[in-house]
Chains A and B, each alone.
Chain A
Amino acid sequence: MMEAAILKVRGITKTFPGVKALDDVSFDIQPGEVHALVGENGAGKSTLMKVLAGLYKPDGGEIVYQGAPTQVAGPLDARQKGILLIHQELSLSPELSVAENIYLGAWPTNRFGVLKKRELRRNASAALDALGCGFGPDVRVGTLSVAMQQMVEIARAEAFSANVVIFDEPTASLTDTEKDQLFHTIRGLKERGVGIVYISHKMDEIFDITDRITVLRDGQVQGTVDTCDTDLNRVTRMMIGRTLDAYFVKAKAEFGSEVLRVEGLSKSGLFDDVSFSVKEGEVLGLYGLVGAGRSEVVETIFGVRRADAGRLFWKEGRIDLPTPRQSIDMGMALVPESRKEQGLVLMMGGRENTSLPHLRLFSEVSIMNKPRELAVFEKYRSALSIKTTGPDQAVSQLSGGNQQKFVLAKWLCADPKLIILDEPTRGIDVGSKSAIHELIADLAERGLAVIVISSEMPEVLGVSHRVLAMSEGAVVAEFEGDALTEEHLIDAVSHHRGEAAA
């Protein structure tokens, strides 16, 4: 028999123009449980959680919190009531200190509105200590890593003695070690009776840490099951209506001539003496922990960063380090790591975002050809099954995964010769993820050279013909064929780190 739920929602409905994001949703959170919320991109997971955290007002339905019907007036109100949302995209103020961020908007003040600095520091450091964070309350948040920033958000759970903590895709940018630490923290919260909601597209995590799973589909609850009574296939079927092969499709290993060769690329402080090459039809994986310098290397090749030294060869001819424009015109494409900062103009719709890197291809004598833009938009909307109400719906209104698909679309649509994919499946649901893996294989078989950066080991191993292991800015090992195994990669990366630490 379950204890009384801390939080129940009954019949919640939320409509945006053109989309019913939540349709009569009911579910509950017990104290001391980790409750998974899963579903395809755009199923309504983030929307539901934003309703609980007071960011959206539902059109209908009720929230029962600690036994009493409750109105959540806003994010601060939610926090003070003990409901804490840890966002899909972190939302801290980089210029403020850790302590100020923990209490953002609810700083302790005296009668005259003057900040009680000492109390703020004391409370903040108590919260940080309780979590075992390795940094103090005075550090500026902008200088912290993503994982540390997340700890700052979690510290709010301590500071406001939260009863419900919601994690929206918390591990998207964490290394494995950081993920283990996060899970340790989550288990700690759980022991203290906090109810936890855990949203993720990574099924292994779901089966590792959660007690119950609720599946959302098109804004409706498909059902809630106990994690120990179910399996991956059943959950997948509830999510997308079919099961998926556990196998990766790898492109046939038929390579053409060399497309890109890099020799001795260096940038002090970021990476050192990086050399590799990639051929037509080949998928080259770059594996490494977050912070290994992989993104910096490809950004330099593409031309958004400057190098100190190094030589590039494009189709066997020596070239100067290009500008992004030259790279694109040669036939290079870079799907960048961060969709909101580097990938999309959020106020534009899918149509305009897709054509942005190729304005010349989509125009005649500088006049934009809108029918051509629309045709390409429609092509990728259906090819990648992107959920959007139309070509001009601002991409800021799309779910995280659907935004990511437009980043892919804008780089695929001009038929590049070399495509570099930096974490291409971050935040993408299981169904679309395997579609993207198939797409990668398909691109390679059509003769493109592909470079894939991923922190997910099965993904790198599954799609690549050859993998370079990077650590601390250097290529430390290269594997292909039978040598492509998890053990080898882990060994290469951690061995090197061990050496560097010693």
Chain B
Amino acid sequence: MRQTMNGVLRRHGLVLAFLVFLAGVALNAEAFLTPGNILDVLRQVSITGMMALGVTFVVLTGRLDLSVGSLLTLLTVIVVDQHNIAGPFPAIVMTLAAGLAVGALNGLLVGFVGLNALIVTLAMLSFLQGLVLFYSGGSNVNVQNAQETWFAVFGRGDFLGLPVPVILFLVGAVVAGLVLQFTSFGRRVYGVGGNETASIFSGIDARWTVFWTYVVSGFTTGVAAIIMGSRVMGAQNTIGQGYELTVLAGVILGGTSLLGGSGSVWRTVIGISMLGFIQNGLLLLGFAYYVQWLVTWAVIIIAVWIDLGAKRGRILA
């Protein structure tokens, strides 16, 4: 109990540190808390956040998905390129289908073949990076009729004063949250993550459960790629580089346990938003771009440390 209390204090400490940071940035960079900047941050967060929704499902089963970074690159390249070739609607369908397919392949290898999730998705990360170069021949792609296509709505549109990507993210978060909270699938995800053996004894097919979480992750990355392609109206071969770590950092910063079985979508929304504001704040304070990476690294280490610390407390208490 004592240890768990400590965990709570440490977690509150983290939120406190975040608020102090916000205040610090606001005092030093006037632009920080302006509505325009906040909306910018939210636009950026809607992409990482959308991916993090799916990754939350995977992490809740006690597994990882590191392939989402290069999957985002691949799918963004596909959506932009196919937009030029086949038009916006077929491009969107193809992108989502490709995302589902990659998710299914991850799910097959981790869930059914039983390979280690870290290895499988890391290998997938590098395989997909190769596939991007193969597909694009190394050159960047751009949407040719960027000014007139309705495809622009996903990344650039506004609705009732809110950016459409932010609305997409919020709707996605609500749906994901409802699925995890109120459906039998959600219950299976928490069951498998909390105690896989006991879930199998309860007649839950852990293989299918794991499989579907990767499919969800592939799908949300597909949606993120549509937002990304629409926002940038183009795609470089490195556009999603490093996103896998930002996404994972957001998920664990929110407090979803890497060991599986505990966490939630709203935690992910909070974690990924905090991370978005931290990264934006650092830029506004004039730090170089790469400082973000140092900070992301530190955030991952601290969040995992707190997670394991709280776990250990729970075991002792």
Q: Name A residues whose Cβ lies closer than 8 Å to a Cβ of B.
A: 16, 55-57, 75, 304, 323-325, 327-329, 334, 336, 341-348, 352, 355-357, 359-360, 362-363, 366-368, 396, 410
On whether the beta carbons of B201 and A343 are closer than 8 Å, the reply is: yes
On whether the beta carbons of A368 and B198 are closer than 8 Å, the reply is: no
On whether the beta carbons of A356 and B204 are closer than 8 Å, the reply is: yes
Give A68 Cβ to nearest chain B Cβ, in Å.
23
Interface of A: prevailing SS: mixed
Q: Which of A336, A342, A345, A360 contacts B194 (CB under 8 A)? A: A345
On whether the beta carbons of A55 and B317 are closer than 8 Å, the reply is: yes
Q: In residues 154-180 of chain B, which contact A (Cβ within 8 Å)?
A: none
A47 to B202, CA, bound (A): 30
The answer to whether B190 has its CB under 8 Å from any CB of chain A is yes
On whether the beta carbons of A367 and B198 are closer than 8 Å, the reply is: no
Q: Which of B1, B187, B202, B261 contacts A368 (CB under 8 A)? A: B187
Q: Which 3 A-B pairs have the closest CB atoms?
A: A345-B194, A359-B184, A357-B202
With A359-B187, A359-B188, A367-B183: A324-B194 Cβ-Cβ less than 8 Å = no
A230 to B261, CA, bound (A): 48
On whether the beta carbons of B199 and A345 are closer than 8 Å, the reply is: yes
Q: Which residue from chain B places its CB closest to the CB of A91 in the assembled complex?
A: B315
Q: Which of B182, B187, B195, B204 contacts A346 (CB under 8 A)? A: B195
Determine the chain B residues whose CB is within 8 A of the CB of A323 once the complex forms: 203, 205
On whether the beta carbons of A336 and B203 are closer than 8 Å, the reply is: no
16 more CB-based (< 8 A) A-B contacts, given A56-B317, A348-B190, A357-B203 = A304-B201, A323-B205, A324-B201, A324-B202, A328-B202, A329-B203, A341-B198, A344-B195, A347-B190, A356-B191, A356-B202, A359-B204, A360-B184, A362-B184, A368-B183, A368-B184
Task: Please give the number of chain B residues whose Cβ is less than 8 angstroms from any Cβ of chain A in the complex.
Answer: 27
The answer to whether B314 has its CB under 8 Å from any CB of chain A is yes
With A304-B200, A325-B203, A334-B201: A345-B261 Cβ-Cβ less than 8 Å = yes
Determine the chain A residues whose CB is within 8 A of the CB of B182 once the complex forms: 367-368
On whether the beta carbons of A55 and B198 are closer than 8 Å, the reply is: no
On whether the beta carbons of B317 and A348 are closer than 8 Å, the reply is: no
Determine the chain B residues whose CB is within 8 A of the CB of A329 once the complex forms: 203
On whether the beta carbons of A356 and B197 are closer than 8 Å, the reply is: no
Determine the chain B residues whose CB is within 8 A of the CB of A16 once the complex forms: 1
On whether the beta carbons of A345 and B203 are closer than 8 Å, the reply is: no
Give A126 Cβ to nearest chain B Cβ, in Å.
29
Give A160 Cβ to nearest chain B Cβ, in Å.
19
On whether the beta carbons of A343 and B198 are closer than 8 Å, the reply is: yes
Q: Which residue from chain B places its CB closest to the CB of A74 in the assembled complex?
A: B316
A342 to B262, CA, bound (A): 19
With A341-B197, A345-B198: A352-B187 Cβ-Cβ less than 8 Å = yes
On whether the beta carbons of B191 and A345 are closer than 8 Å, the reply is: yes
A336 to B188, CA, bound (A): 19
Determine the chain A residues whose CB is within 8 A of the CB of B204 once the complex forms: 325, 356-357, 359
On whether the beta carbons of B203 and A324 are closer than 8 Å, the reply is: yes
On whether the beta carbons of B190 and A345 are closer than 8 Å, the reply is: yes
On whether the beta carbons of B203 and A327 are closer than 8 Å, the reply is: yes
A303 to B184, CA, bound (A): 22
Determine the chain A residues whose CB is within 8 A of the CB of B317 once the complex forms: 55-56
With A344-B195, A347-B262, A348-B190: A410-B202 Cβ-Cβ less than 8 Å = yes
On whether the beta carbons of B261 and A347 are closer than 8 Å, the reply is: yes
A16 to B2, CA, bound (A): 11
Q: In residues 237-265 of chain B, which contact A (Cβ within 8 Å)?
A: 261-262
